[in-house]
Amino acid sequence: MESTYEKIISWVEEIKERNHSSGAGLLILKNNEIVLEHYSGYQSNTINAVPINVNSRFNVASARKSYLGLCLAFAIYEGKIHSVEDYASKYFEDIDPEILGKTTIRHMVTHTHGLDENHRGEIIREFKPGENWAYRGINIKLMTQLIQKLYGVPFPELLYERVFSPMGLVRTKWETKDNDELVRVIIDPKSNGEDASGSSDDGMESNLFVSTREFASWGSLFLNKGVFNGKQIVPKEVIEIAIRKHTLKDLEKDLPRNGMFWFVQDIPREMSELGNRVPSGSYQILGVTGPTLLVIPKYDLVVAKMYNKRYNYGNDNYLYYLKEFSNIVADTFNK
């Protein structure tokens, strides 16, 4: 069976070595069945480190945005946010309205808001809302605060109650204390892997750890429009809001398109993180430590790939390597 997926496995292993990741996980779901599960390496780059296994939990870094995005989709579906066209100033009365200007929720979730923070933590403007695309952290910080304001609880708590618990997920958690299942993050290959647990579990930090299987299950929830193991866990309409393309049509054509933080494929775009051979309607989320969750509805496919190296191999060519993985996956199943 693995011979069918030899090119995908070889690519994952090659990038693991080039990137100095100490371990990797790969799981492919086709028609809701596991057709490939592959683990290699160790949970850190130290002597006597635990081998990567089915219970190993990787820090998924910015891929956590897809979890926040689902909560925002809930808020829109339930009317707590009236529309993606709502001005952000409606929800953030303590922020200078002149800085926020005409920034909308749509701009915030598609990285087209034009906001940033300076070294003093002050919100500044880089460009006019909707004029460009830039990957910054301020929108995630503000949207995290917004969900807590709207629901009265941090968004991870909302997810544990409404999604993780009904799905039976036990290895998806914002961690505040290191444990034997957590994969260390390699920052400098010449130094020991680092504990990436955080100081809080309120979703404000990049301390979400997920097993490869449960990362794939998260993708499956979206592919199946909220159904998991035959049960409707999340309303179909909420999922559709989360993965719908929210980027305004007049954004420069080569820039990425996004749903609720997911990268979505409509047509191939030069600066997108999805390859040009990936079918329209596909979507993907990634993190700086190497996780990739790719969903291709046309092929009834979910692919979860895990690494533990902060900053990905490729330097100026990093987009090529991100795109090419999704292209290789698409080629494998386009038969």
Rounded to 5 degrees, what are φ and ψ at 268? -60, 135
Q: Residue 224 has what pLDDT? A: 98
Rounded CA gap, 23 and 182, in Å?
Answer: 12
What is the pLDDT at residue 213? 98
Distance CA 325, CA 328 (A): 5
Give me the torsion for CA of 156, 157, 159, 165, rounded to 10°. 130
Compute the CA torsion angle 156, 160, 161, 164 (nearest 10 deg).
140
Instruction: Give Rg (Cα) of the chain.
Output: 19
Tell me the residue type at 149: K
pLDDT over threshold 60, residue 37? yes
The 3 state secondary structure assigned to the chain is CHHHHHHHHHHHHHHHHHHCCCEEEEEEEECCEEEEEEEEEECCCCCCCCECCCCCEEECHHHHHHHHHHHHHHHHHCCCCCCCCCEHHHCCCCCCHHHHCCCEHHHHHCCCCCEEECCCCCEEECCCCCCCCCCCCHHHHHHHHHHHHHHCCCHHHHHHHHHHHHHCCCCEEECCCCCCCECCEECCCCCCCECCCCCCCCCCCCCEEEEHHHHHHHHHHHHCCCEECCEECCCHHHHHHHHCCCCCCCCCCCCCCECCCCEECCCCCCCCCCCCCCCCCCEEEECCCCCEEEEEHHHCEEEEEECCECCCCCHHHHHHHHHHHHHHHHHHHCC
Length of the chain in residues, anyone? 335
Average the pLDDT over each of 147-156, 282-291, 312-321, 326-335 and give the range with the smallest value: 312-321
Question: Measured on CA atoms in the order 205, 119, 285, 12, is the torsion positive or negative?
Answer: negative
- Residue 314 is predicted with a pLDDT of 73
Q: What is the mean pLDDT of the chain?
A: 96
Do 43 and 22 contact (CB within 8 A), yes or no?
Answer: yes
Q: Predicted confidence band at 258 (pLDDT cuts at 50, 70, 90)?
A: very high
Taking CB atoms within 8 Å and a gap of at least 24, the contacts of 135-139 are 135/111, 136/111, 138/113, 139/108, 139/109, 139/111, 139/113, 139/115
Tokens found for residue 286? 């990634």
* Per-residue confidence band for 1, with pLDDT thresholds at 50, 70 and 90: low
Using alpha carbons only, give the angle 293, 299, 301 rounded to the nearest 5 degrees: 30
pLDDT at 40: 98
Does the pTM exceed 0.85? yes
